[in-house]
Amino acid sequence: MTGPIPTLGNPRNTIEILNKYRFVFQKKYGQNFLIDTHVLEKIIKAADITEQDYVVEIGPGIGTMTQYLASSAAGVTAIEIDRALIPILHDTLQEYKNVDIINEDVLKVDLGKIADEKNNGRPVKVVANLPYYITTPIIMGLFEKHVPVSSITVMVQKEVADRMQAGPGTKDYGALSLAVQYYALPYIAANVPPNCFMPRPGVGSAVIRLDVYEHPPVHAEDEALLFGMIRASFNQRRKTLQNGLSHVSELGISKELTVRILEELGLPASVRGEALTLEQFVAFANQAARYLKT
């Protein structure tokens, strides 16, 4: 840590700031502020923030984690939707000269432009205690828009972290596991109980780090087809792959084509999508793309 010593994170200081500004929590924005210094230190350690890193923080709240990030990183851009928090952030972050605050919905912000302008187009690190109601759109947005990001270290609902990390043959394995693992290597760094937040969330939480691949180990020729296929397979989880895929007519993959490709890949005709690995889904989608072209 090279910058000023963080003062928030301690529940007493958090309450003092909330009272000073008569802050009213907005449930619709998923506001659960961290009040545990050990957890904050764990997040910074898991994200492996150094003076060389530029960080984008999503949802800084009153600036608790922002203080920790700004003390360790070259710079931080913090994007907060709630207008009532902006004067608070200017107060709590006044000692930190390397922080920019943007009052905007993160889903509307061009994060690629921030990496361009603030970090000369080099990959940034995303760190956040995410608003849980938009976890998936935030993370999938980063991947699908190919924002230059080297890692994403985020607090999410425990159940969502488990789904991101799950492999075939487990109950948590699904479309989110495959989408995340196509783009990144996931690793759960810590489990965090509700009493580390104010107010306490009704669910358990976990810190997950996603190391985004510079060169993904598997490549789909048609990503839209791959993810369309994955969604179709898990919408009909207990169905065989041939039934699941033929159910979604937009994919254009008939039962006959599914059986043919499965045979070529050495898989049984009765296999369910939930039994396939990411590599097998990609191999299937690449074969299907070739057949659909001809």
Judged by the rule CB under 6 A, the positions of this chain that interact with ligand SAM are 29-34, 58-61, 64-65, 79-82, 85, 105-107, 129, 131, 134
Q: How far is the CB of 59 from ligand SAM (least distance, A)?
A: 2
Is 249 exposed, middle or buried (CB count within 10 Å of its CB: 0-12, 13-18, 19+)? exposed
Q: How far is the CB of 210 from ligand SAM (least distance, A)?
A: 18
| Whether 229 contacts 283, CB under 8 Å | no
| Whether 199 contacts 30, CB under 8 Å | no
User: How remote is the C-alpha of 110 from its chain's centroid?
Assistant: 16
Question: Which CB sits closer to ligand SAM, 56 or 278?
Answer: 56
Q: What residues contact 22, with CB distance under 8 A and at least 6 apart?
A: none
Question: Which CB sits closer to ligand SAM, 192 or 226?
Answer: 192
Identify how many contiguous H helices and E strands the chain contains and give both numbers: 12, 9
Question: Which CB sits closer to ligand SAM, 80 or 274?
Answer: 80
Question: Which CB sits closer to ligand SAM, 201 or 216?
Answer: 201
Question: Which CB sits closer to ligand SAM, 107 or 269?
Answer: 107
Q: How far is the CB of 273 from ligand SAM (least distance, A)?
A: 32
What are the structure tokens assigned to 40, written together? 């904050």
Q: How far is the CB of 82 from ligand SAM (least distance, A)?
A: 4
| Whether 40 contacts 34, CB under 8 Å | yes
Q: How far is the CB of 130 from ligand SAM (least distance, A)?
A: 6
What are the structure tokens assigned to 260, written together? 């043919």
**Residues 90, 85: Cα–Cα separation, whole Å:** 9
Q: How far is the CB of 231 from ligand SAM (least distance, A)?
A: 24
Question: Which CB sits closer to ligand SAM, 55 or 253?
Answer: 55
Q: How far is the CB of 156 from ligand SAM (least distance, A)?
A: 10
The string of DSSP letters for 14-27 reads HHHHHHHTT----G
Q: Which residue's CB atom is positioned nearest to ligand SAM?
A: 59
Question: Which CB sits closer to ligand SAM, 14 or 240?
Answer: 14
Q: C-alpha distances in angstroms, 159 versus 30, 221, 227? A: 16, 31, 21
**Residues 37, 39: Cα–Cα separation, whole Å:** 5
